[in-house]
Structure 1
Amino acid sequence: MNINKRYKDRLFCLLFGNEEYKENILSLYNALCNTSHTDVNDIQIYTIDNVIYIEMKNDVSILLDSYLHLWEQQSSYNPNMPLRGMMYFSKMYDRYIIEHSYNIYGSTLIKFPTPRYTVLYNGTSEQPAFMKLRLSDAFIHEDTSGDFEWTANMVNINSGKNDDLLNNCKPLQEYMLLIEAIRQNRSQGMEVEEAVDKAVTYCIDHDILSAFLTKHRAEVIDVCITEYDEQVFVNGIKEEAREEGREEGIKTGRKEGIKEGRKEGIDIGEKKMIFKYVSSGRISLSEGAEDAGMSIDELKEAMSKAGYKVPME
């Protein structure tokens, strides 16, 4: 889905991956690592801007005290985080080698920062307080040697799971209070836009991230709505892929039917999200046509048939 060039930060990245809020970064670092660093100038933000998922950046990386940290906030359990982390770290190490003009083909051992990979889980499905995810769990042939391993430490930041961590990092605690307020509003039947707006207002009124939310209110609301849409989009792809694969598999009685069904489900889910974004004005007709691999006229026709409002050019 070719919409990567128009990415947004996640709310988590706005709070913990921004030069303007290095105090938040340092607070989370100290809480996670049980340290007591005090100088925000020691932090080097190392996030790679063009590594994103759908249209949202989904990571924060920092370099501090010769440790290279990657933090990812996840609202759904994903057992593939070790693989994603390994791929991301390879890009960061490549950058590090280039920046320092190291020769990896020489006879001198190159020293580089020690990796630390943390997944901060705040989804609604029940998960343990802490889980170590291992790349070796995905190997087709079991390998217990430990020679080829990459791990992700998943920390559950929902209330009641790691309260000490939240108590030691006020910005993270207040971030979760905002997320919980949005969920509470949604559970009461509010549409996502209203649920987010009322949660932001509540937090400002109750001194929860108040300065941050007051300054960035419009951006925060937009990002939260987009995050919700992204989650619905991903869930929709999974469900449609399963259904399409199931129906095709029944018709043909072949395993290939499931594979084709999964691909078709993904194509349908992506195009529906593009239709929604074009209809709401988030992206233009020309941008939507490019993302969908269609001409503008084809996009208009497809949107009209699917029941979406077609904006004027």
Structure 2
Amino acid sequence: MMKKGETVILIGLSLVLGGGLVITQSVYGLLASLWMLGTGFALFGINAIAGIKALAARQWTLVVRISLGPFIGVYTVAVWLFTHYWVGLSGPEAQFDWRFMLEGFPHEQAVMLPILYGLGLTYGYLRTHPRAIAWTVGIVGVLGLLGFGTWAIWEFRVADSRHADVQFVEGEFRTLEALLADPAFAGKRVYVDVWHSSCKPCLQQFRDHLPALKESFEGEDFMYLYIARETSHPNSRDRWLSVIEDYHLSGWHAYYPKDETETFFAELMKQAEISQFAFPHYFVVQDGQILVPDAPRPSQLAELRELLGV
């Protein structure tokens, strides 16, 4: 049985973690958060009390029945709920796709479940082996320092060289013309990709078609500018940077937070003389002037090459 003090600590942890998780703008997000908290701490308790004993006794059937099996089931439901949450952020036209469950975002959101699962087994062992606590703290401390050192080396050395072809437009620009006033764009045709990190069609274009487009235009006097807006996701900016890294989006990037989005896109629609705007949207621009206000997508490579005469 769990001791009274342990139960109080467990409830306190759930309240602290729950406060950060349930602040969402989606029913699916709320359900996923509550589901993950409830089942996560249930798994923690089961592993700390019975799971570790079954594991130590090598009772594999019991381990699967009371620990591993329930974990797989509740984790699958959590990922399913977070996938629907993601789809909801992609807009009213977005549809559920089972392939989403294999992608990174829902698993990143549900990561607390495997963490609590493992912590339950660890705590179940430590509570019956007090002498192991000192060793565990020491090992975790050493691994933490090694992990931080590895992260620092990667972040400040390797990452810089790997993303040398990714550049960010600095400053606040209320119009596309002002954004393209940078000397780097002078006299060059620019393929402008307007997107956001919760847009399924945007990510599909990055994954399935953009590499072929860039290969086709290699050697041409052609530049790429990606304009992203902030989404409703609480980690919108981090997700934006993650997509840039995951899909190797070489080129220039601009990010518009919510307080700047409305003004910028209103001016963009006015300049492009379009009445409707959906994500993703593409323009071909030169010297700040929009040459093609509704350019073909990367998946329409032949049409784009014909339009540009290359």
- Give the structure-1-normalised TM-score: 0.23
From the CA coordinates, give the structure whose radius of gyration is larger.
2
- Give the structure-2-normalised TM-score: 0.23
Which of the two has greater helix per residue?
A: 2
